[in-house]
Amino acid sequence: MLVTGKAHKVGAHIDTDAIIPARFLVTTDSGVLGANCMEGLEPGWIKRVQKNDIIVADENFGCGSSREHAPIALLGAGIPVVVAKSFARIFYRNAYNMGLVLLEVGADADKLHDGDTLEVDLDAGRIKNLTTGESIVCAPVPQSMQDLLDAGGLVPYVKKRLAAKQ
């Protein structure tokens, strides 16, 4: 699968309160959460985002609260992929469970700039920076995460397990 979109750079340790502040946690609706995505980072941040745009972050993206509303807000905002130097672990699990793709690229994240157009090949694990012409090869998605993605996320995976039990 190919995703092409504009890069939006954010800093290190972007916490889930920044991604979706607690005052919005009175709903589970992805549209409402998406409309308020990154409201804790910068009010109105979402206005700059078009469907299929990509967040490029420094280290420890998604730290803090376990709120699954964070990946839901990103997906609701039309962001299918987050590229970062590293991710916080609860957020990492949540993202895969929700179908948000995370690409951990280490220092290579510095080769991507705000406003660059990126083409992400999810199958090959490659990010092509269409603005600079440079390519980044990502570490493969761990097998256990790939199994989860192949099953279509954790919900269908558990559904299959439960059906097999009966």
Of 55-63, 75-83, 109-117, 125-133: span binding another protein (CB under 8 A): 55-63
How far is the C-alpha of 38 from the C-alpha of 73, rounded, in Å? 8
How far is the C-alpha of 44 from the C-alpha of 32, rounded, in Å? 14
Residue 119 beta carbon to another protein: minimum distance, rounded to whole angstroms: 29
90 contacts 69 by C-beta, under 8 angstroms: no
2 binds another protein (CB under 8 A): no
Q: Pick from 35, 98, 122, 149: which binds another protein (CB under 8 A)?
A: 98
59: DSSP letter: S
26 binds another protein (CB under 8 A): yes
Residue 149 beta carbon to another protein: minimum distance, rounded to whole angstroms: 14
Residues in the chain, total? 166
Phi, psi of 117 (to 5 degrees): -95, 125
How far is the C-alpha of 146 from the C-alpha of 153, rounded, in Å? 9
Q: Pick from 69, 74, 75, 127: which binds another protein (CB under 8 A)?
A: 69
30 binds another protein (CB under 8 A): no
CA–CA distances in Å: residue 154 to residues 63, 76, 95, 140: 21, 18, 11, 19
Q: Pick from 34, 40, 76, 80: which binds another protein (CB under 8 A)?
A: 40
44 binds another protein (CB under 8 A): no
Q: Tell me whether residue 53 or residue 68 sits nearer to another protein (CB atom).
A: 68
139 binds another protein (CB under 8 A): no
